[in-house]
């Protein structure tokens, strides 16, 4: 199953909108502080930035996420440079350069092209601007000599916001990566044709099940399945396998069902009552025997042979399957279309 594009774009869309709203609120806060401190030039600069972030919603509405990230980054480069030169290095605007490095890699990961070189360019630019601003501040007086309260307020706001944003972006990335990892694990344990568990799913189930002593493992395969492929073709064979899996999961709704390989299926079900699980497996066998499988204009009747063995202490999964396999083949040798326990 492919990775869902809906989830992919939903993650990007939600992240960009949340970031843009937060940036907009942040710059309104800056604007208020600059007005209170009567920093005329920075009032005009930040008012322009506020207007830009309002216009950014149009970009996001059109799903221009990469363009949004590109312009947003350049706006911050300009703003960081102006504010640091105007008020000094101690206002903490340089922290955003570190945050931009994180955002650049985040953007690269979620972009279609995934060009790591672009992120490295942003990192290089951020470092160059960071050092330039540091040295400019060391050897030149800031344009504004702001009051201590404003310097402390700006430093605190910028430090908190940058750390919060780095954590938020990494959290989004981590959650998305975990969801992909879980999806890959799930798909690796799901049979592509029948969409039920495969043998690797069976291994996981065996390792996780803590009450094996009460379970029975039944192995069954489709009698003379090769003839179905030879006579009706592999498309018909695939249709039969999908339907057999569907019938098995419907009849054995409380059991674990997997496609073990080829036309072989394994079922693990409760085995406390020998007559009970025998009748359940017989119900499965007869359901398949009585069903007419259809593939285009073809009508196919088939049967299965089942071998079932209860769990004994110390049995490995491989040995358990082998014992069920022996039961099944004894049924094959004595006429097929039967359940052997």
Give 294's contacts (C-beta < 8 A, 6+ positions apart): 239, 300
Span between the terminal Cα atoms of the chain, in Å: 37
| Side-by-side strand order, sheet with 264-270 | 256-261, 264-270, 215-222, 304-310, 339-340
Whether the pTM exceeds 0.75: the reply is no
- β-strand partners of 295: 298
Domains of the chain: 5-188 (no CATH), 199-340 (3.30.70.270)
Q: How many Å apart are CA 137 and CA 117, to the nearest integer? A: 30
Picking from 301, 302, 206, the residue whose alpha carbon sits closest to that of residue 260 is 206
Write out the chain's pLDDT in tens, 341 residues.
344 566 667 778 888 898 899 989 999 999 999 999 999 999 999 999 999 999 999 989 888 887 888 888 889 899 999 999 999 999 999 999 988 888 888 777 766 666 777 788 888 999 999 999 999 999 999 999 999 999 999 999 999 999 998 898 888 888 888 888 888 888 899 999 999 999 999 999 999 876 888 999 999 999 999 999 999 999 999 999 999 999 999 999 889 999 999 999 999 999 888 899 999 999 999 999 999 999 888 899 999 999 999 998 889 999 999 999 999 999 999 999 999 99
Contact 100, 128 (CB under 8 A): no
Q: Taking the alpha carbons of 182, 183, 184, 185 in that order, is the dihedral positive or negative?
A: positive
Rg (CA), the chain: 33
Contacts 24+ apart (CB under 8 A), 17-23: 17/60, 19/165, 20/53, 20/56, 20/57, 20/60, 20/68, 20/72, 22/161, 22/165, 23/53, 23/72
Q: Tell me the two tokens of residue 116.
A: 């790591």
Q: How many Å apart are CA 249 and CA 197, to the nearest integer? A: 11
């Amino acid at each position: 199953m492919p990775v869902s594009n809906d989830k992919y774009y939903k993650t990007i869309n939600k992240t960009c909108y949340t970031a843009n709203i937060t940036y907009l609120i942040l710059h309104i806060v800056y604007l208020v502080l600059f007005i209170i401190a009567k920093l005329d030039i920075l009032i005009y600069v930040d008012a322009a930035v506020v207007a830009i972030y309002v216009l950014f919603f149009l970009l996001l509405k059109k799903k221009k996420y990469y363009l949004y990230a590109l312009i947003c980054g350049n706006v911050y480069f300009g703003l960081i440079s102006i504010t640091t030169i105007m008020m000094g290095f101690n206002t903490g605007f340089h922290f955003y350069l570190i945050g931009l490095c994180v955002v650049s890699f985040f953007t690269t990961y979620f972009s279609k092209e995934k060009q790591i070189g672009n992120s490295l360019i942003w990192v290089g630019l951020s470092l160059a601007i960071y050092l330039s601003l540091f040295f400019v501040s060391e050897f030149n007086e800031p344009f504004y000599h702001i009051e201590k309260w404003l310097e402390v307020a700006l430093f605190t706001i910028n430090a908190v916001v940058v750390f919060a944003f780095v954590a938020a972006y990494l959290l989004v990335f981590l959650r998305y990566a975990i969801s992909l990892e879980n999806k890959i694990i799930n798909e690796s344990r799901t049979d592509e044709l029948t969409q039920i568990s495969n043998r690797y799913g069976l291994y996981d189930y065996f390792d996780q099940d803590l009450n094996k002593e009460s379970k029975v493992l039944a192995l069954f395969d489709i009698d003379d399945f090769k003839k179905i492929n030879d006579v009706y073709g592999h498309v018909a064979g695939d249709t039969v396998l999908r339907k057999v899996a569907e019938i098995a999961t419907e009849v054995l709704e409380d059991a674990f069902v997997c496609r073990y390989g080829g036309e072989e299926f394994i079922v693990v079900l409760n085995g406390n009552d020998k007559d009970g699980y025998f009748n359940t497996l017989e119900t499965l066998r007869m359901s398949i025997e009585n069903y007419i499988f259809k593939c285009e204009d073809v009508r196919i009747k088939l049967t299965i042979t089942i071998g079932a063995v209860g769990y004994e202490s110390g049995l490995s999964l491989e040995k358990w399957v082998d014992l069920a396999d022996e039961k099944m083949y004894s049924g094959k040798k004595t006429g097929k279309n039967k359940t052997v326990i």
